[in-house]
Amino acid sequence: MKKNINIDIAFTHIYTRKKQTMVAALGVAIGVGMYLFMNSLDAGFSKYSTDEIFKNNAHIKIYKNDEISKPLTTDDSSGLRVIINPQITTLSKKIINPEALLAAVKSQPYVTNAIAQVNFDAYYNRGKAQIKGTGNGVNMIEYAQMFNTDKYMVAGNTEALQGNLNGIIIGSGISEKLSLGINDNITVTSSFGIVKVMKIVGIFMTGSSMNDNTKSYVNISTAQQFIKEGPSFVSTLFINTRDANNPEPFVQKLQQLTSYTVEDWKTSNADVLSGNNTRETMMGAISMAILIVAGFGIYNILSSTIIQKINDIAILKATGFNGNDVVKIFIVEAIIMGIIGTAVGLLLGSVLIAIMSNIYMGGPVGYFPIGFELTLFIRSFILGMLITLCAGYFPARKAAKVDPVEIFRK
């Protein structure tokens, strides 16, 4: 009861105009609720598509890019013109001295995991049936750690490949098309003409047909044999870092270690990310528009309160309330509406998120990818309050400018 007189007046206005307060608060609640829900939806979806990327991509990879022949330098003063047809001059995709580079990369404090990989073009045969794909020579235990391959194994396991130079893990698509199961033999031919009969020790299914229909894993030395290379041949280094979302500074640091191309996942998947950004912008704009409309609700209700209470404002100013006091009274009213509205809105958003996260989408997606994110709750709260404050400030300033003499002389 001993509160400030301005706050007391504000609370009394709110209390005696419950209906209008509730209408204004409901507007904010719907705005904040939809903002939270739509952005959670978007965040969940972005996270899902990023996770899809990380099934096969490390945060950063190092590989030897194709080199283009450069013109021979000519002395311009000689007047001699050299006509050049630029061509790819790469003889081999080999990374020289991969062990040293891998060790150097692993010693970086921000690197959490790094592995070497040997890729080759593979043809999977059974009788006359043939499927074209890619073989990946990896240290399977390290690879599984990095890409969570164990999660996608539908038959056999990743450990079975360890030390088994004749073993292979294939995608479920290959297994289906060639009707080969675990422990069956599969003929693998490389583009270098090497043919090997291998034993299937595992089958994986990631949900992405591009992977499931083409990919296989073998030991690194087996892969080196397929491309007729020695044990020091490595085509790609995969590196995971502490912060997947900001790989750029790490790329710069790693580039100082090697002359090979260092590329982060964002560069490799720019198309997916630009899709994410477009969706984020759209969702953000729509949900922001809803929130702003809610702000107009508060603006309207406060404006009508001020018109109704103009006599009260005049007498308050006559008895010594200054412009600031009047602004405070109406800002406090806006804040009360905002707090009620934002709280209800966060609750509403949570309920929507909870309902949505229980919807089963089937297939590799499973339940709808949406979750509770604290940062989004904080952002929704701050935005809700900010818009309420803006919507309250303008009518409040109008009230502060009421000229009491004009009212009393009527």
C-alpha closest to that of 14 among 408, 238, 330, 359: 330
Find the shortest distance in angstroms from Cβ 336 to other proteins. 15
Instruction: Write phi, then psi, for 267 (nearest 5 degrees).
Output: -70, -40
The region of 8-16, 247-255, 298-306, 358-366 touching other proteins under the rule CB under 8 A is 8-16
C-alpha closest to that of 32 among 296, 284, 287: 287
Find the shortest distance in angstroms from Cβ 13 to other proteins. 7
83 binds other proteins (CB under 8 A): no
Find the shortest distance in angstroms from Cβ 3 to other proteins. 9
Give the C-alpha separation, 271 to 53, whole Å.
Answer: 11
304 binds other proteins (CB under 8 A): no
Full 3-state SS string of 189-227: EECCCCEEEEEEEEEECCCCHHHHCCEEEEEHHHHHHHC
19 binds other proteins (CB under 8 A): no
Find the shortest distance in angstroms from Cβ 47 to other proteins. 50
312 binds other proteins (CB under 8 A): yes
Give the C-alpha separation, 44 to 148, whole Å.
Answer: 20
Find the shortest distance in angstroms from Cβ 45 to other proteins. 49
- Contact letters for other proteins, residues 377-406 (x by CB under 8 A): --------------------------xxx-
302 binds other proteins (CB under 8 A): no
Contacts 24+ apart (CB under 8 A), 174-183: 174/124, 174/131, 174/133, 174/212, 174/213, 174/214, 174/216, 175/200, 175/203, 177/129, 177/131, 177/213, 178/124, 178/126, 178/129, 178/131, 179/126, 180/126, 181/155, 182/155, 182/156
Indicate the residue among 318 and 378 with the shorter CB distance to other proteins.
Answer: 318
Indicate the residue among 4 and 261 with the shorter CB distance to other proteins.
Answer: 4
C-alpha closest to that of 104 among 62, 135, 67, 70: 62
Contact between 395 and 330 (Cβ < 8 Å) = yes
Site for other proteins in 320-339 (CB under 8 A): 320-325
Radius of gyration, CA atoms only, the chain: 33
Find the shortest distance in angstroms from Cβ 404 to other proteins. 5
Select the residue interacting with other proteins from 13, 61, 64, 215 (CB under 8 A): 13
Select the residue interacting with other proteins from 192, 296, 367, 408 (CB under 8 A): 408
Name the β-bridge partners of 124. Answer: 131, 188
Find the shortest distance in angstroms from Cβ 327 to other proteins. 12
Find the shortest distance in angstroms from Cβ 42 to other proteins. 45
319 binds other proteins (CB under 8 A): yes
> Binding residues for other proteins, per CB under 8 A?
1-2, 4-5, 8-9, 12-13, 15-16, 311-312, 314-325, 403-405, 408-409
